[in-house]
Amino acid sequence: MIAKLLRAAHLRMLYRFAPLARHRYARLCATMLDQPVLLLSFDCDNFEDIDALDRIAEFLGEMNIVATFAVPGEIIQSARGQFARLSERGHEFMSHGYRRHSEIQSGQYTSTLFYHKLSDAEIAEDIHGGNEVIGELTGRKPAGFRIPHFGHSSAPAELARVYDVLISADLKYSSSTLPRCGILNGPIYLTEEGLWELPVSGMYSNPFSVLDTYSFGFNHKTARTAAEFLGNVTGLLDAFSGRPVCLNLYCDPSQAVRMDEWFQAMRRIVQSGYRAMRFDEFVSQYADKQRVRP
């Protein structure tokens, strides 16, 4: 246990250097993958995301991209028809709990519910509630789950509380961890609880920060711009050029549709030869290639 903690601390120090972190991630990807892969996921946490879905679906269709949508049950129930059409178009639904966990207050995206503040029973109730709504929507139970605001409950004990519920509900994977887990373990790894975990990707400029849409113009605490979002994606494509790397990108529809650079970035990823896959497809195809244990 102590050796493991020391190893993790040592790796965190070493991979603070962005090129080393990217090199390690690409090397781990190359041991598992035979092609560059885009895992594109959309968190639909707010009612405003529903308004953006038609534009997003149209673009994904044009680009031949299949994606995975993480949507709380309450949001699905408020626009069931629109979400059902996404499912019919071949996109996957990842469970994301039942209750809404965010709202936009005075133009700011504000978190309203955190799993680490809930009891075990409340977590289980929320997860089962979300799974049920997805089962009703798609006709089959979800394969995976994303913890609301994954960055806020990444302590191992907090993750374990959620993973235990996911395993008891027979889910196969989670995509709830931060880029540092990808740098340490690769694009997919088996947790101690026995669940596959797929960490989201980090920025080019800072491999430990999530490359999401929120950080580029929607988080009032940072001054990053949409142009920097495109710059980060282009930086990664150049750095990983020709290598079988997985980009696991997390976006909010209501933010993506307001960034021309987001559309440009997705086009460049596809033009660079990345194959878009649903998370469940990725798990079936690559989980058994995973060699590194956390």
In the complex with Zn ion, which residue's Cβ is closer, 74 or 268?
Answer: 74
Min separation Cβ 7 and Zn ion, Å: 31
Polymer length in residues for the chain:
294
Q: DSSP 3-state assignment of 38?
A: strand
Planar angle of CA 252, 285, 57, nearest 5 degrees: 30
In the complex with Zn ion, which residue's Cβ is closer, 45 or 212?
Answer: 45
Min separation Cβ 36 and Zn ion, Å: 26
In the complex with Zn ion, which residue's Cβ is closer, 114 or 208?
Answer: 114
Min separation Cβ 44 and Zn ion, Å: 8
Residue tagged 């976006």 (tokens): 251
CB-based burial label for 178 (10 Å; 0-12, 13-18, 19+) = middle
Cβ atoms of 111 and 152 closer than 8 Å: yes
**Closest to 280 in 3D by CA, of 68, 83, 110, 7:** 68
In the complex with Zn ion, which residue's Cβ is closer, 184 or 251?
Answer: 251
Planar angle of CA 252, 193, 155, nearest 5 degrees: 55
In the complex with Zn ion, which residue's Cβ is closer, 44 or 259?
Answer: 44
Pairwise CA distance, residues 149 & 46, whole Å: 13
Pairwise CA distance, residues 9 & 291, whole Å: 21
In the complex with Zn ion, which residue's Cβ is closer, 115 or 240?
Answer: 115
**Closest to 250 in 3D by CA, of 262, 237, 238:** 262
Q: Return residues touching Zn ion (CB under 5 A).
A: 43, 45, 148
Pairwise CA distance, residues 121 & 70, whole Å: 22
Min separation Cβ 143 and Zn ion, Å: 18
For residue 255, which amino acid is it?
Answer: Q
Name beta bridge partners: 202: 210
In the complex with Zn ion, which residue's Cβ is closer, 43 or 212?
Answer: 43
Min separation Cβ 104 and Zn ion, Å: 13
Cβ atoms of 145 and 280 closer than 8 Å: no
Min separation Cβ 228 and Zn ion, Å: 23
In the complex with Zn ion, which residue's Cβ is closer, 43 or 92?
Answer: 43
Min separation Cβ 50 and Zn ion, Å: 14
Min separation Cβ 45 and Zn ion, Å: 4
Pairwise CA distance, residues 116 & 158, whole Å: 6
